[in-house]
A and B are shown apart, each in its own frame.
Chain A
Amino acid sequence: MDRLDELESQSVFILREAFARLKRIAILWSLGKDSNVMIWLARKAFFGQVPCPVMHVDTGKKFAEMYAFRERYAKEWQLDLLIEPCPPIDAVDPTLPPAARSAARKTEGLKLALAKHGFDGLIAGIRRDEEATRAKERVFSPRGAEGLWDVRDQPPEFWNHFNASPPPGAHLRVHPILHWTESDIWAYTKRENIPIVPLYLARDGKRYRSLGDADITSPIASDAATIDAIIAELDATRIPERSGRAMDHESEDAFERLRKAGYL
C-alpha cells in the first residue's frame, strides 16, 4: 500500500463507520476538489453507490462553472441531490466582519437544512492542513443543538473508535478526509481521474486554489494548467491555500468565530 492507498483506506473506513453508526446522514457537497474526492471515496466505500443524500447548501453566489459541474455530475453519478438555500444576509450576525458575515449565510442555511431533514450526521470534506482551527478537529465531531462547536470539550477519539451518539437535538460532523493534504487531494484526483471544476486550472496567468462564493474568493497568480503542474506548484509554494478566501483574514479570530458557530 502506498501513501494514497492508506489515505483512501482510512477514509473508506470512516465513511462506512458513519453509515453504520448514524441513523440519517448526508454528504455535504460544495462542488470543490475536496468534496469531489469525498464523493468518489463514498462510491468506493459502497461499491459504486452513494447510499445517502448529497446536499449542496447553496448561497446562490457560486461561479457559473460550479453550477454546471453540479448539474452534470449529480446526474452522471446518480446522486440523491438536495439543494438547500441560504437566508439573506440580514439574518446573519451583524457583528461579524463583512466577508465573514457573507460566508456565515452558509451556516444559517445549514441550520435550516438540518432542522428540515433531521440529519444526525453531516459528512464534510474539511482537512487539517487547510487552517489552524480545522487542525484541531475530531473525525466524529459533536455539534450542540444550535450547531455550536465546543472546542474546550472535545471528546477523546482514538484507534478508529468514534463517538457516534450525539445527545438529542445535536448532530455529528464526520470528517473522512481530515488527514489528507492539499497535495494528496490533487495526487489522488489525478490517479483516480476524478472530474474537477475547470476554475482550478490556470487561464491567463490565474487560477483558483480554493473555491467559494464568487464575490469573496479571488484567484492566485499561476501558470499551472494541469494537475501535475498544480502539484509541482504546491511543492514550491509558501502561500497558504485559503489566502484567496477573504473571510479568513479580516480579523485574528474571524474564522474561529465562524467555525464555533457551525461553519465547516
Chain B
Amino acid sequence: MNVVLSSQLRPAAALPVRPLVRVVIVGHVDHGKSTLIGRLLHETGNLPDGKLDALKAVSARRGMKFEWSFLLDALQTERDQGITIDTSQIQLRTASRDIVLIDAPGHAEFLRNMITGAAQADAALLLIDAGEGVRDQTRRHGYLLHLLGVRQVAVVVNKMDRIGFDAARFRDIAAEITGHLVGLGLTPTAVIPVSARNGDGVVRRTPSTAWHQGPTVLEALDTFAPARAPADLALRFPVQAIYKFDERRIIAGRVESGHIGVGDEIVVMPGQKRARVQTIEAWPAPDAAHAPRVASAGQSIGITLDRELFVERGNVIAPSANPSTAAKRLKARVFWLNARPLAVGGVIVARIGTAEARGVVTAIANAVDPGLLASDGAEVIGQNHVGEIALELAQPLATDPHTSDAGMGRIVLEFDGRIAGGGLVLSVEAAAAGAASHSAAATRAAGTHELHSDASDALKGHAATLARLFEALSPAKRLAHLRREIAGRIVFTTSFGLEDQAILHLIAERGSDIEIVTLDTGRLFPETYALWAETERRYGLRIRAVYPRQDDLEALIERHGINGFYETREARVACCHVRKIVPLERALGGAQGWIAGLRAEQSAHRRDMALVTAERGLIKLNPLFDWTREQLASFVAANSIPVNPLHAKGFASIGCAPCTRPIGPDEPERAGRWWWEDETKKECGLHNRA
C-alpha cells in the first residue's frame, strides 16, 4: 500500500536519515487493532488521497457500517468475513521516525501469521479492550513476544469510552497486564488509556483521559528504537555459501553478532579449524586504500582466509578465543504451529543460523497453551502451544544459549518440509569426544528432570498475577475465579485434614466443576477412613481415590521392609514417593489447575510458599493460605463440617498413621509429622516443587 506523506509533526530532515522502526500491533481479536491503525493514520495525515472515501464506498457497497479494518484487510475473503487473516504492513511517520505498522491477526487460528508479522518487529503495541480486560489471546501474544525476542512493548487499553473512562478499572487492567508481562521479562514502556474509535489518547490528549499522566500512542511510538544487531558481543558469522566465481574463494554470510577484522584469528565451528582473515571483499571493488578492514553485526559480507580450509554452508566463524558450542544435544523453549502435535520421539529438522540437522525430541515438559498458561500435563506440544523440548541432533550444530547470543540462540523447527515451530535455545551440551560414556537413557532421564524443575516463566508470571488478584478475595471467591480463569480440569487433592474439609465444603456447597481426589497411601488412620465415608455421605458425592502402583509398592517393601521409613531418611522419602508422589502425578495428569490446603503459618518452610504458585506445570491455588488456625476452626464449627476425631486428641496435621503423632500445646502444627527428622526437611515432596 502506498502511503507516503508529510505531516505537520515532521521536521524537514532528509528521508533516509530517519530511523525506521517496525512495530507490530497484537492483542485479542476485536480489541480494536485495525481501528487504532486507522485512527493513527487518519489523525497524523498519513492516509493517501481518496483512501478514506474508497473505504467508505466499500463499506457501503457491503451494506456495513464504515470499517477501518478495510484499510489493511486487503483480501476479498478478509473483507467478506470481517477478519484479518494474514499480517499486513503500512507506513506511518511520527515526529522523529518512519514507522512500519505491522497488523497481526488476532484470531488464534492465524497464529502462524501473527508470528510471521511479530518476528519482524522492533517493538510491539499490545491492545486490550477495557471492557473485556486481559483475555487468553492477550496472554498468548504477550508470551509469543517474549519467545520472539521483541523487547519493547507498550500496552494500549482501548474502548475506554465503553467504560466511561473509569480510571480505577484502567489501573486494575494495567496492574494485571504489567504483572503478566514482567513475569515474562517484558517491562511495558507505557500503559495508555485510549478510545481508538473517538480518538482519545491516540494522537491527542482529550479531557476524558486527563487523569492519565503518560504518553499518547503516537508519543509512545516515537520512543521506540530500531533493534540493532549486537556489535558488542563475540563474533558469530554463519556461513551462507562459498563462492568461487573467479580466483578468489569467498566465504559469504551475514555477521550475526560482534565484528570481524582483517588479520583476526578465527575458528570454524563445528570442527575447530583455525585460520586468519585475509581480506574482506566488496563490490564494486574499491581501490586498495579503501578496501574494508572490518565488518560488524548486521552486515552481509564476504571474506577470504589465509589458508585453504574446508568450510561449508552452516559453519559458524567465531573468534578462536571465544568459540560457540558445537551441540549434539540441546534444550529449547518453543512454540509449535503444525496441526500434528510435537511428541517425544518426533523427528524434525532443526535450523540454527544457516545450519540444519535432523533431530529427535527426547523429552517434553511444561507443554501449555500460552493463552491459558496452565499445563494440561500433556507429553506433547499441540498446535499453537508452547513447551520445552530436549533435542538429540544427528550432527552437531554451532549454537549459543539465547541468554548469551539472542541470534545464535534461536532455533527453528521444520516438519514435513515446512517451518513448524521455533524458539529459544535454553542450554546446550557440547558434542565432546567421549560423550559416548553417557548412556542415552541417563541423558534422557536427566533431561526430563531438569526440564520439569524449570517451570516455564509464563506459568510463573500467570501465577504471580493471580496471586495479586486473589489476595483481597475470600477463599470461596478465589475458587470461583480460578474456575473461570482455567479452561481445563482442576483437581483438589484432599487428605481430610481440617483445611481440606473446609475447602471440600466450599466446593461441594457451590457445586463447582472441580474434581475431588484423595491419595490412599494404604497406611492411613482408621479414623481417616471413617471420615472419608462420612464426608461422602454428608455431601452426597464420591471422592476419587488414587492408589500406589502395586509393583512399586512390592519393590519398596522388598528393599526397605514394612516399616523401613523409621530407619533412614532415604527409606522415608522412598515410601512417600511410592505412596504419595507417584499417585499424585497420576491424579494431576491432564489437569491444568491444582487446589490444596496449605496455610502459611503451618511451618517455617511453608512460609516460602504462596497463595498461587506454578508447580508441576500447573497453576496451584491454596485458597486458605492466609487463614490462621483460629479462623479455620471457627469456619469449620460454624458450618458443622465433619472433622477427624484425632484433632481433638492432639493430632494437628494428620498424614499416614505410622508417621503422625499428637503434638503438645506449644509445639508447631507440623511437629507431629516425621517427628524424628530435622524440621527443615519435613515434607513428603508433594507441595514443594516449584
A159 touches B119 (CB 8 A): yes
A-B contact pairs, 29 of them (CB 8 A): A2-B17, A12-B254, A16-B252, A16-B300, A20-B240, A47-B281, A48-B245, A49-B245, A130-B1, A133-B74, A135-B1, A135-B90, A151-B75, A152-B77, A152-B85, A156-B116, A156-B337, A156-B420, A157-B419, A158-B120, A158-B148, A183-B16, A187-B15, A235-B4, A235-B6, A238-B49, A240-B1, A240-B2, A252-B76
B419 touches A48 (CB 8 A): no
B419 touches A156 (CB 8 A): yes
Query: How long is the Cα–Cα vector from A12 to B281 in the complex, in angstroms?
Result: 14
Number of residues in A with C-beta < 8 Å to the partner?
62
A1-57, CB < 8 A from B: 1-6, 8-10, 12-13, 16-17, 19-20, 43-49, 51
A16 touches B48 (CB 8 A): no
Query: How long is the Cα–Cα vector from A130 to B3 in the complex, in angstroms?
Result: 9
Which chain A residue shows the least CB distance to B245? A49
Residues on B lying within 8 angstroms of A by beta carbon are: 1-6, 15-20, 47-49, 58, 61, 72, 74-77, 85-91, 112-113, 115-116, 119-120, 148, 240-241, 243, 245, 248, 250, 252-254, 281-285, 298-300, 302, 313, 337, 351, 354, 410, 412, 417-420, 422
Query: How long is the Cα–Cα vector from A136 to B113 in the complex, in angstroms?
Result: 10
Residues of B within 8 A of A252 (CB): 58, 61, 76
Residues of B within 8 A of A237 (CB): 4-5
Given contacts A161-B412, A183-B4, contact A3 B16 (CB under 8 A): yes
A187 touches B16 (CB 8 A): yes
Residues of B within 8 A of A17 (CB): 240
Nearest Cβ in chain A — how far from B87, in angstroms?
7
Q: Is A128 an interface residue (CB 8 A)?
A: yes
Nearest Cβ in chain B — how far from A51, in angstroms?
7
Nearest Cβ in chain A — how far from B48, in angstroms?
5
Residues of A within 8 A of B313 (CB): 20
A4 touches B419 (CB 8 A): no
B299 touches A5 (CB 8 A): yes
Which chain A residue shows the least CB distance to B47? A238
Interface of A is mostly: helix
Residues of B within 8 A of A151 (CB): 75, 77, 85-86
Given contacts A157-B419, A182-B2, contact A47 B116 (CB under 8 A): no
Query: How long is the Cα–Cα vector from A183 to B3 in the complex, in angstroms?
Result: 11
Query: How long is the Cα–Cα vector from A87 to B120 in the complex, in angstroms?
Result: 39
A163 touches B58 (CB 8 A): no
Query: How long is the Cα–Cα vector from A110 to B17 in the complex, in angstroms?
Result: 38
B76 touches A253 (CB 8 A): yes
Given contacts A47-B283, A132-B88, A136-B75, contact A19 B18 (CB under 8 A): no
Given contacts A151-B75, A163-B419, contact A45 B91 (CB under 8 A): no
Which chain A residue shows the least CB distance to B256? A160
B1 touches A20 (CB 8 A): no
Residue from the list B4, B241, B300 in contact with A19, Cβ < 8 A: B241
Residues of B within 8 A of A16 (CB): 240-241, 252-253, 300
B15 touches A157 (CB 8 A): no
A9 touches B298 (CB 8 A): yes
B254 touches A13 (CB 8 A): yes
Residues of A within 8 A of B112 (CB): 154-156
